[in-house]
Amino acid sequence: MRTQYVSLELNDNDLQVSLFHRHQKDADKVISVTDIVKSEIRLNDSPINVINTDTEHGFNENIEQELYTAFANEKINKMVDDKVRRISLLLTDKNKSCYTICLYLRKGDSRMTKKSYSTVIDELIEYCWLLGETINTDNTEKRRVKQSVLSLQKQEYIKTKEYSEASLGKQPETSIPLNTEDKHFKSTDNSDSAGQDNSDEFDQLDENNAIDTNLVDGLEKLVNLKQQGYLTIEEFSKAKETLLNTLYEK
């Protein structure tokens, strides 16, 4: 954290990138966007995306979806035993100078960076589209729809909920179209101060999603036991009712 940059800003109509060290109000380094030849995203120090001049390293909606899925899967992992969660962006310029920006860092219950997990990811996707268009124009698609971590998590929750209701023989509720209204990634961060996990926007959805996942798993086990003859119809119905009451009492 002391040696790496912890935030970046796009300014002058997105023609320059300003890099900041921790607790700095003035930029320590300013790079022209057109001088950047490579960007790399690392999640927990493992590369999950590279943009450069290679044909396969542009940016498109499929890659965007893959990134959101990777970040959503990481969010499922609970922060126990001082687990570390880190999101870094590495930028390389035409002079082969490399700049590492630690955009998100959390250890256990303590977050060392200011912005929430979902805010960092939404901003990072915006950077990817801009850098893709600048570094690898020929292999970067024109963006059509903007997603967000929160809307992606809601979609996964709705799918799981509908599957659960179908397993119970219920008619799934009509899904209300999600609001994917564009928002500029430079908006003011309204999250709580660093170290407060409650600022992550979809913690409650994580809990609901976990309940529905447990419900689906439990129902599948009950159905298998009934099909194998270990449960009568009455026992199956009673066990199913007990499972539902236990999960949704939480």
User: Is residue 81 over pLDDT 50?
Assistant: yes
Which strands sit side by side in the sheet containing 110-111, from one edge to the other? 46-51, 36-43, 84-93, 98-107, 110-111
Confidence of residue 169 (pLDDT cuts 50, 70, 90): low
Residue 192: inside a domain, yes or no?
no
Q: Which residue has the higher pLDDT, 172 or 17?
A: 17
Domain end: 139, 157, 176, which one?
139
pLDDT by residue (tens digit) across 210-238? 555 666 667 777 777 777 777 787 787 78
Q: Can you give the pTM of this predicted structure?
A: 0.60
Number of folded domains that form the chain: 2
Q: Is the per-residue pLDDT at 116 higher than 50?
A: yes
Residue 138 has a pLDDT of 94
Verify that 11 and 135 share a domain, yes or no. yes
Residue 205 dihedral angles phi and psi, to the nearest 5°: -65, -35
For residue 219, being part of any structural domain is answered with: yes
149 or 2, greater pLDDT: 2
131 and 246, same domain (yes or no): no
**Do 211 and 88 reside in the same domain of the chain?**
no
Contact 86, 45 (CB under 8 A): yes
Whether residue 103 is found in the same domain as residue 209: no
Tell me the C-alpha distance between 98 and 92, whole Å: 4
Q: Please give the angle made by the CA atoms of 79, 83 and 86, to the nearest 5 degrees.
A: 95
User: Which of 3-7, 30-34, 168-172, 246-250 comes out lowest in average pLDDT?
Assistant: 168-172
145 or 67: whose pLDDT is higher? 67
2 within some domain: no
Together in a domain, 134 and 206: no
Residues 103 and 222 in one domain: no
* Residues whose CB is less than 8 angstroms from the CB of residue 224 and which lie 6 or more positions away in sequence, other chains included: none
11 lies in the same domain as 127: yes
Tokens at residue 85, please?
């969660």
Lowest mean pLDDT among 32-46, 47-61, 94-108, 148-162: 148-162
The residue range of the domain holding 227 is: 202-250
**138-146 own/partner pairs: CB under 8 Å, 24+ apart:** 138/58, 139/55, 139/56, 139/57, 139/58, 140/58, 140/59, 140/60, 141/58, 141/59, 141/60, 141/61, 143/61, 144/61, 145/61, 145/180, 146/180, 146/182, 146/183
Residues 17 and 88 in one domain: yes
| The last residue of a domain, from among 121, 139, 157 | 139
Mean pLDDT for all residues in the chain: 75
Q: Are residues 132 and 213 in the same domain?
A: no
Residues 11 and 118 both lie in one domain: yes
Residue 177 has pLDDT above 60, yes or no: no
| Final residue of a structural domain among 86, 117, 139 | 139
196: in domain: no
Q: In the structure, what pLDDT confidence band is assigned to residue 49 with cuts at 50, 70 and 90?
A: very high
Q: Is residue 191 part of a domain?
A: no
| 104 in the same domain as 21 | yes
* 231 inside domain: yes
If you average pLDDT over residues 15-21, what whole number do you get? 90
Asked if residue 134 is part of any domain, the answer here is yes
Cβ–Cβ under 8 Å, residues 6 and 113? yes
In a domain, 186, yes or no: no
